[in-house]
Structure 1
């Protein structure tokens, strides 16, 4: 990797072809490492790394100038550009560390009462699920209800299951003044499938249920988000996963109509105004602008990430390539493994595809297995895709990016086949 990227020279030339050419010219990834796990951590291009490095140099050249008056205008610009991407006004858009922070900020700002209900899914991301579990454990102990989703499922089946859980006796609030809050995924982490989240938000609204959308994987992967039209009560998405910002950075959407709910950032900002002194002013703009001493380089790198994506050809071109690659690559891996993709008609697939692994059915998840497989994939085979257990089977989630091509999927398929065969032999030997 070159230690320096000339941004002016970069944007003066046309972008390279997607795949290996883009990988070699635009990313800092080890060329010997096959990365089909963009969904976990994201992978910023060298242009964004360069921009973030220059911002860091600016910060350290005069920390007082930067923190006291140097970043605020650019932060507003980043929020404005993000708002255009997701269909929101600038002052409905806030930047936080990650989507878990976004969900946590919203959930901890609700004034919980005994008899309130929190609705999550069995597939809710673990840290977000634990936010619901913690709130249910803490006084006044709102009730936690879990919607079970076991894939493969169709969007129609998901909608019916959501309606059923909202109508179930266990999900009813204790009294007319109690509230219900549903945490809804837009794209589940594992399995990596698209939910009909806009329809679920609409149903929640009709049933007087607050909707908090965990859209960790949406921005940069999902086209036509349009929050003005969808009208979730709250929505949050990681910019460092699919949008190419430097890690870690997420957008938190708090529509004007619900800004009275958010009384404080988490942790509470120096600019917090006690409720008795607010005179109706929620002042969350000031609070989110300065929560404390943070690294603002990732937040401001959003500007370079958006510029870089426009130079590549824009959101539609990027995502059409990645979606097509995910669908075709998933079929290749399933053929190599002799298994199946979770979503054969690709109706739930964007840029992540789930393929069944031929692991022994008796294999149990453990810390030892987790460490062993991760090290084997990363250190021995120099490749990785996320893997997980769901609905009685083992799966791998393969993320397609513009620096990937079908050769990467073929390589991962062969790696997983070798790993599966090794596991089968060990299980057979231990039971002999």
Structure 2
């Protein structure tokens, strides 16, 4: 920031493009892909918007976007927007999943959705799925999904917002059609910074940035080589999209060096976080008297987040379900409002933030492991949550929801 404020014109026009390329080169090496396939955008939602808003749909109205019910909220809204504004050219097909479920079950549900789509005379063009879903915070079988999409001729749009820096991100082996990830989460880059990967074979689809800016080229004049100097049209397009704070993009190279030189390397960092999440999750469940959300194979928890059930049960509206001695019962119509009250109370009274959410017939919390945390931090969270659940049992939320 000091450099750009000292000489804004010189920095933005001359220094920034060079430094940006250096950081693109660093993240490309980390992902094991060519540098010409990666660009930076502010966040994962912007990346998905760039992909979906640029996608050209067939005029016959048969195209479909497939996605899972665990899609991140903003991404789901983006799908809705595209469907609403493309005048009947494309529709969406959600695939409902409820955990705990096995990886094979998820793949089978996807296969059935594709078969149903085709059976109805539709055309499943692309599928959006996560590396690690947000709610619940579980590892999605993205490798198997990518293989299955290729087998069935469905393009892959992988939301890795919770991905880079948390789990292996070897895109050379995965070979998705589109992939993006927030760098300001697990890679420890200042907000806002995300990387968008588009292989050369699909870059002709990315005509515009979001918002459209200096790099846009009219369709009648567009070709695969148009760009700035030696850079491709794709890279040139995303290099400068207006006067924004691009400084987070220039921190990627140093962050990757820190992870290697100070922490000891990516394998050590990821192993520490995943082990802490697993150990911490079990300890929290022990204190709460509940259990960790996982599948039987244990693959869903192979990430740096853990989801623990709270001693709160969800009952259908109008039912007469009674609570066990160590749990509370909330009806379906108020559970989300109470979850919001719990999060607000955690911030106000305990000076922390923990995600509280409902899934299936239960209420869970999502906890994250980071290199600066230890098991005792999870134990503190558990004791805090235990106290908060006691306040729910006393119905302290009444009058506040």
**Equivalent residue for 1:293?**
243
CA contact (8 A) 1:237 1:251 kept: yes
**Equivalent residue for 1:303?**
253
Q: How does 1:330-349 map to 2 (within 5 A)?
A: 330-343=281-294, 346-349=298-301
Distance between the aligned counterparts of 1:268 and 1:353, measured in 2?
38
CA-CA distance at 1:111 after TM superposition: 1.0
SS at match of 1:183: strand
Distance between the aligned counterparts of 2:109 and 2:137, measured in 1?
19
Q: Are positions 1:181 and 2:132 aligned together?
A: no
**Equivalent residue for 1:39?**
none
2:280 to 310, 324, 329: 329
CA contact (8 A) 2:304 2:370 kept: yes
Q: How does 1:246-395 map to 2 (within 5 A)?
A: 246-281=190-225, 283-310=233-260, 311-343=262-294, 346-349=298-301, 350-359=303-312, 360-363=328-331, 364-365=333-334, 369=338, 371-395=340-364
CA-CA distance at 1:143 after TM superposition: 1.4
Distance 1:172 1:65, change over 3 A: farther
Q: Output the TM-score relative to the length of structure 2.
A: 0.88
CA contact (8 A) 1:145 1:170 kept: no
CA-CA distance at 1:373 after TM superposition: 2.0
**Equivalent residue for 2:385?**
416
Distance 1:171 1:144, change over 3 A: farther
Instruction: Say which structure, 1 or 2, has more relative contact order (CA 8 Å, 6+ apart).
Output: 1
Distance between the aligned counterparts of 1:88 and 1:342, measured in 2?
34
Distance between the aligned counterparts of 2:79 and 2:215, measured in 1?
27
Distance 1:93 1:327, change over 3 A: same
Distance between the aligned counterparts of 2:117 and 2:197, measured in 1?
31
Distance 1:215 1:267, change over 3 A: same
Alignment gaps of 5+ in structure 2: 227-232, 313-327
CA contact (8 A) 2:40 2:238 kept: yes
Distance 1:171 1:211, change over 3 A: farther
**Equivalent residue for 1:78?**
23
How many residues are treated as equivalent by the alignment? 371
CA contact (8 A) 2:23 2:250 kept: yes
Distance between the aligned counterparts of 1:206 and 1:318, measured in 2?
34
After superposition, the C-alpha distances for 1:271-319 in whole angstroms (9 at most, x for unaligned) are 2111211244351211100111111111101122111111211111111
CA-CA distance at 1:156 after TM superposition: 1.6
CA-CA distance at 1:208 after TM superposition: 1.3
Distance 1:429 1:261, change over 3 A: closer
Distance between the aligned counterparts of 2:304 and 2:215, measured in 1?
40
Q: Output the TM-score relative to the length of structure 1.
A: 0.82
Deviates more, 1:416-425 or 1:178-187: 178-187
Deviates more, 1:376-385 or 1:258-267: 376-385
Distance 1:307 1:169, change over 3 A: closer
What CA RMSD, in Å, does the superposition of the two structures yield over aligned residues? Answer: 2.0
CA contact (8 A) 1:213 1:232 kept: yes
